[in-house]
Chain A
Amino acid sequence: MKTHFFQSLKLTLILIVLAGGVYPLLISAIGKLTPGGGDGQEIKVNGKVVGFANVGQKFTKDEYFWSRPSAVNYAADGSAGSNKGPNNPDYLKDVEGRIQNFLKHNPDVTRAQIPAELVTASGSGLDPDLSPEGAKVQIARIAKIRNLSADKVAALVNAHTEQPLWGVFGPSKINVLKLNVALDQLRK
């Protein structure tokens, strides 16, 4: 027993250094070579950081494409989902409220055109993306409030649509932050 104990103790110390120290430092050194240098990929407008490409942020103003609802209000230091069950009556009331709100701000849209992702909270609360439909359904509102032609906004949405991986795997998507940054530049 005693030999097991001291062998275990020494082995543990060595492995703590190896797995907790050396291994992450090595990955960190390699991370320096990646885009963003391992700090996360930032997006800048006029030299000022406005966010991280992969981390979703809150867009609730009518002149921007809205991002999805978030259970944590896009707090990027406390990610979480709503954890509401699909048949929870309180949850269904929340969803109905979001539908009403969306219809109020997008009078040209009918209920049947709203994609579910715009009235449901994401898993992380930080979903950076929308599906192409989630963006398209907002084009009329954006075009009107920004005095742009709907075709021009639609072209921007198309240009920002990322196809499935290698064209064959997974869903198409649009990064909301990148889309909105481009939208701001469109006005100029």
Chain B
Amino acid sequence: MNTELLGVVAMYAVTILLAIPLGKYIARVFNGEKTWLNFFAPLERLIFKLSGINPEKEMNWKQHLKALLTINVLWLFYAFFCLLFQSHLPLNPDGNPSQTPDLAFNTAISFITNTNLQDYSGESGATYYTQLFVFTFLHFVSAATGIAAMMVVFKAMKDKVTDKLGNFWDFFIKSITRILLPISFVVAVILAFNGTPTSYKGKETVITLQGDTTHVSRGPAAGMIAIKQVGTNGGGWFGANSAHPLENPNYLTNMVENISILLIPMALVFALGFYLNRRKLSWVIYGVMTAGFLTMLLLSINAETGGSPALAHMGVTQATGSMEGKEVRFGPAASAYWGITTTVTSNGSVNAMHDSMMPISGMGQMFDMMINAFYGGVGVGYLNFYIFIIIAVFISGLMVGRTPEFMGRKIEAREMKIASLIALLHPFLILVGTATACYFLVHFPNINWAEKPSAWLANPTFHGFSEMLYQFTSSSANNGSGYEGLGDNSIFWNVGAGIVMFIGRFLPIIGPVAIAGLLAGKKFIPESAGTLKSDSITFGLMIFAVILIVAALSFFPALALGPIAEHVSIK
């Protein structure tokens, strides 16, 4: 096995070796048991005291959602106004301008929703103030929002009949102090020692060895980059994200960053098992997720290491695989691995340009985001998966002619309505969004906008269609990676993707929390011989089938017009 593939195997192996104990630790944190990070307790008490919060007060599912939505709306306004006036705020050594209203709208939503679609470029479109006090801050709190929402669902699954589901602020703050902050700190220090800048100095002008003048952007980037990976955010310091040699200086940092992408999403799967004391259920869920992940990964690694057929025709040697949009220090195998891990987890950072990858990789990346539950984003990945579980339970129940039940609760019409609506929302947002973009492109190519639709696409035909499909898929999945050839800093994309990100974030949080809350209030039915066991392989296969049927039926036609058509048209 060559060193590039060994690197990929090592990354996955280390991730799972860390994820299992981390999952156990997370379960202990939320069970209120003692952990070795208990020295954070005084800090937590201080935060609660200063904010006037009683973390012991139990909330029902509606109160949880009220708290979650209130603070998120507050962040939205804060971020929007900071970006709109960033040139007047401190910490702007490079003298960068403020964002336009439509760009600030997009960016603010993008960061509160844990998406981090970036229609600006970090070097010129943000200041150190907004990078730190808006983006880094939102990286932490948006990730913690996801974990806290997930904990409500965990808690609802654990207890017998109850409407007391813990305290939202308690889940939220502990997610930051006990999980996100310590891990980010370690990652940031590793990055700093490998050459990622940490100082507050602005650009440096350098005369290069052959005599050109160049301006090198930098800044206190290491801390932001760490939490961007750990919290499945993905919004980087520099325009080229983790392909940038200061953001991701060498193969070691690439391994550390890529392990961070997958670590918490995977750990949360195991946390569920430890928390409910149903470890087998965790392994069933892990198995389903991993089967989907590995399928896409093998397709993509094969396509990228094989090189570009078009370049092979031109007669150059592609010993190192397809290299357009990739960095020599990572190579195509690690780039393909990153591309798949970042799209399964709703992270969205990149270490190579997805727009220039082979169409099969593009299909895999889009498919990952269309499912959005193979590991998934921190917290929200499990919420999406929960919807698929509910649907699978219901269909299984119909098949055997019994009332569907999950974890001792009957699934009835109300829960199924919510689950179906949430499952349909994702294809609705993606397909209607893409169709609208196509409509403008075809019927109003030269409409009087700053960026005319005719100038949106960097590539013709099928690949151009993929650029639009990718953008809405990434927005609705709260992923944030992009086919960056798309001219997305324009009113249509800023506003359209902004709305899709917002709906695509909050409804899929509200739905599962509501279902879990409703189920928790129902009578508990003990397991009997006729109960479909939720921690069996049969049930795992059932979930996998539901995922494939729901996603494949919704998305296959769109994928056929984009990456699949491009792949089969390669001569």
Seen from chain A, the residues whose Cβ lies within 8 Å of a Cβ on chain B are 1, 4-12, 14-16, 19-21, 23-24, 26-28, 30-32, 34-41, 45, 48-61, 64, 68, 74-89, 91-92, 95-96, 99, 111-117, 119-131, 133-134, 164-165, 168-173, 177, 180-181, 184
In the complex with contacts A24-B223, A112-B316, A170-B197 CB distance below 8 A: no
Q: Are B199 and A127 in contact (CB under 8 A)?
A: no
Is the Cβ of A165 less than 8 Å from the Cβ of B140?
Answer: no
Q: Would A57 and B353 count as touching, CB distance under 8 A?
A: no
Complex CA distance for A32 and B189, rounded to whole angstroms:
11
Q: Which residues of A contact B47 (CB under 8 A)?
A: 11, 14-15
Q: Is the CB of A76 within 8 A of B217?
A: yes
Q: Is the CB of A123 within 8 A of B204?
A: no
Distance of A3 from chain B, by nearest CB (Å): 8
Which B positions have Cβ atoms within 8 angstroms of A? Answer: 3-4, 6-7, 10, 47, 50-53, 66-67, 70-71, 74-75, 78, 94, 121, 123-124, 132-134, 136-137, 139-141, 169, 173, 176, 181, 184-185, 188-189, 192-193, 195, 197-201, 203-204, 206-210, 212, 214-218, 220, 222-224, 226-227, 238-240, 243-246, 249-252, 254-255, 307-311, 314-331, 334-335, 350-353, 355-359, 458-460, 463, 466, 483-485, 566, 569-570
State the 10 A-B residue pairs at the shortest beta-carbon distance, nearest first.
A31-B198, A123-B243, A83-B485, A20-B133, A38-B198, A85-B463, A170-B251, A81-B353, A79-B240, A124-B240
A-B contact pairs, 26 of them (CB 8 A): A7-B52, A11-B47, A11-B71, A27-B185, A27-B223, A27-B226, A28-B198, A38-B220, A54-B249, A56-B245, A57-B210, A77-B215, A77-B216, A78-B124, A80-B121, A84-B325, A84-B355, A84-B459, A86-B309, A86-B310, A87-B463, A87-B566, A117-B323, A119-B311, A121-B325, A126-B245
Chain B residue with Cβ nearest A9 = B74
Contact A12-B570, Cβ < 8 Å, known A58-B208, A116-B311: no
With beta carbons under 8 angstroms apart, the residue of B66, B209, B249, B328 that contacts A59 is B209
Give Cα A175 to B136, complex, Å. Answer: 31
Q: Out of A85, A129, A169, name the residue touching B356 (CB < 8 Å).
A: A85
List 8 extra interface pairs beyond A20-B132, A36-B195, A84-B485, CB under 8 A. Answer: A19-B227, A20-B136, A39-B218, A57-B210, A83-B484, A120-B325, A164-B3, A165-B251
Which of B123, B199, B350 meets A123, CB within 8 Å? B350
A-side contacts of B314, CB under 8 Å: 92, 95-96, 99, 111
Residues of chain B within 8 A (CB-CB) of A92 are 310, 314
Q: In the complex the two chains form, what is the Cα distance from A27 to B335 in whole Å?
A: 28
- Residues in A with CB closer than 8 Å to B569 are 87
Contacts of B206 in A (CB 8 A): 49-52
Cα separation A124 to B132 with both chains bound (whole Å): 22
CA–CA, A115 and B308, complex, Å: 12
B133 touches A16 (CB 8 A): yes
Please report the C-alpha to C-alpha distance between residue A76 and residue B216 in the assembled complex, in whole angstroms. Answer: 5
Specify which of A14, A21, A128 is in contact with B132 (CB 8 Å cutoff).
A21
Query: How far is it, in angstroms, between the C-alpha of A165 and the C-alpha of B7 when the chains are bound?
Result: 9
| Contact A19 B484, beta carbon cutoff 8 Å | no
Cα–Cα distance between A39 and B222 once the two chains are bound (Å): 11
B212 closest partner in A (C-beta): A58
Q: A4-B67, A84-B458, A85-B355 are in contact. Are A11 and B240 (CB under 8 A)?
A: no
Pairwise interchain contact B316-A114, C-beta atoms closer than 8 A: yes
Docked complex Cα distance between A58 and B214 (Å): 9
Residues of B with C-beta under 8 A to A79: 121, 123, 238-240, 243-244
